[in-house]
Structure 1
């Protein structure tokens, strides 16, 4: 006689199940047992976000050259971790114009990938000198030429990163050819002058790069 295995699985509720199996012979004799098991799977806890996990890595505060537009400003963030981070409801203080809270920009959505970039631009790709689509367009971006202290906060109001100072820019230019302000290394203290330099390369930008503004939006800083 050849035995046959009959397996019956019955779901009895959320994350609970039962199954019955019987060994059948070709003589129609059978025996069976029923087993019930249940399991609970906890909701994964997001990795904690620490200061320096996401940093302000590049700031184009001087606008563009041609056609000249002071609104063609952008800020690049970089993720220093090995996991993606949800930026929804994060805030960059002093990114906009006017008095508080209009001068603070709350990111409506967005995720920055592990070791990746996130670009916030005052103009769309079509209306800007950047040659890559920004992750978010913030038409109210207004970076004063005499400096801004930019503070990045998570959705709980915790300070994650700080860049520059309020009375001057550590690097970058607003004269032709304009240059963005680039961090020498993402791990450096963004409040120190020694952490920043003028951009000297031309990546993801319109034009040949010889006389156009210099910057590397959504690309590694090439100092």
Structure 2
């Protein structure tokens, strides 16, 4: 008698998983996408209201798609999984947004649903070009009914269309179906099995819009959750997966990407009873932010030389060993745009010569260049080109206008443009031997003309030959006239003595 009771108890225990999970099935498959895009694939799971799917897995037999489930079966007994984002089905929110890997192939797939223990709960054999249903032309979906699979108009989060074009499951799928009483048994449930009352509070989560970020820059992520009436849920928990192996927690978080690429970011929001997921894309591009122009003592100009608006939050600007200026959160620079920062904003003076640096949020340098200002007029600046620093007309916030003259010399420390002799009118580069060599110590002791190039008329000839070479200039003609007059006087004296 005792042995019989033990056997009955064991049989009941063995059948228990089927009692718990046997009614959870893959209910509808949009393997063909939607009329908007073939990439807008989605899958609907049906089961008892409130069934916890945390740790469950939906995958294809070939391994091309592996979706880890989280959350619970919700309103009407449905759990909707959308590919990539929550816009796959307009006006119908997803319970889970997931990456479908290589996607659901049009040549057919075998879908396998497993619970959190790895037990196979359901299997859908859609091999042989989805012979069991679905239409790639009309975009009608593959739907489960009490009599088998059918092809019908899509019904996400709604009762399947029993009046569609019925299709029988393949013999292979029938042969693989577990026997009655097996813990992996599946059951085709009639729609009446899901006639549960609507959930009073439906959780929706938003992860924000797609973003473009620079390598090494701080990226801000902020999400929120609300119920079906649109009321915010301040007590929700937010878990972020940044797509590069890193995770974070919080309604608003910061993250840095160190390599270019396209990253899929997922936000999981949960309350005591419900959980759902949203996603966004982050395009991380090489850091082409750089210095464009410097006006010593006034301002400097940055340039975004990329075709996208970029987030520069957390990036720093420094000259020499001054305390760096860091951009605050939510700082953006438009594509092919300039940004001018004056000394007041930077918090330090811009010297006439120095080392300019751009910094990542952690203080590491990603741009470093030494500049030397020229002898500048009030309307001139220095601009960085592929050939180095060049004189430019001061054009803050606009494209540089180079002057056809290279940088004259490093500006001595402590000298303002009004104290330095004006540059020569020639477009030639000033030679080293006539460049100003003022220093802070001897500036007041030197004559302003010390470093000037004297005009030819003021230079002392080095020899008679130099004087002869000067003929053609004003001083040369004067010298020639005096010489002729002297020679005439001598000739007159000689003739006078000769005849007298």
TM-score, normalized by the shorter chain, greater than 0.5: yes
| Residue number among 69, 77, 98 corresponding to 1:138 in the alignment | 98
Contact 1:179 1:198 in 2 (8 A): yes
Contact 2:45 2:78 in 1 (8 A): yes
Contact 2:58 2:67 in 1 (8 A): yes
The structural deviation recorded for 1:94 is 1.1
**Structure 2 residue 166 is the aligned partner of structure 1 residue 221:** no
| Residue number among 82, 85, 91 corresponding to 2:51 in the alignment | 85
| Residue number among 106, 109, 119 corresponding to 1:148 in the alignment | 109
**Structure 2 residue 24 is the aligned partner of structure 1 residue 54:** yes
What is the alpha-carbon distance in structure 1 between the residues aligned to residue 54 and residue 89 of structure 2?
26
The structural deviation recorded for 1:148 is 0.7
| Residue number among 137, 144, 159 corresponding to 1:183 in the alignment | 144
| Residue number among 173, 179, 184 corresponding to 2:135 in the alignment | 173
Q: How far does the alpha carbon of each residue in 1:154-210 deviate from its partner, in whole angstroms, 9 at most, with x for none?
A: 0000111111233331111111x210111122xx6xxxxxx11111xxxxxxxxxxx
In structure 1, the partner of 2:150 is 197
Could you tell me which runs of 5 or more consecutive residues in structure 1 were left unpaired when the two chains were aligned: 1-47, 189-194, 200-213
In structure 2, the partner of 1:73 is 41
Distance 1:134 1:114, change over 3 A: closer
TM-score (ref. length: structure 2): 0.27
Structure having the higher helix fraction is: 2
TM-score (ref. length: structure 1): 0.58
Cα RMSD after superposing both structures:
2.2
The structural deviation recorded for 1:131 is 2.5
Relative contact order (alpha carbons < 8 A, sep ≥ 6): 1 or 2 greater?
1
What is the alpha-carbon distance in structure 1 between the residues aligned to residue 24 and residue 100 of structure 2?
22
| Residue number among 113, 121, 126 corresponding to 2:82 in the alignment | 121
Contact 1:130 1:217 in 2 (8 A): no
- Give the number of aligned pairs: 143
Structure 1 or 2, whichever has the larger Rg, is 2
Contact 2:76 2:157 in 1 (8 A): no
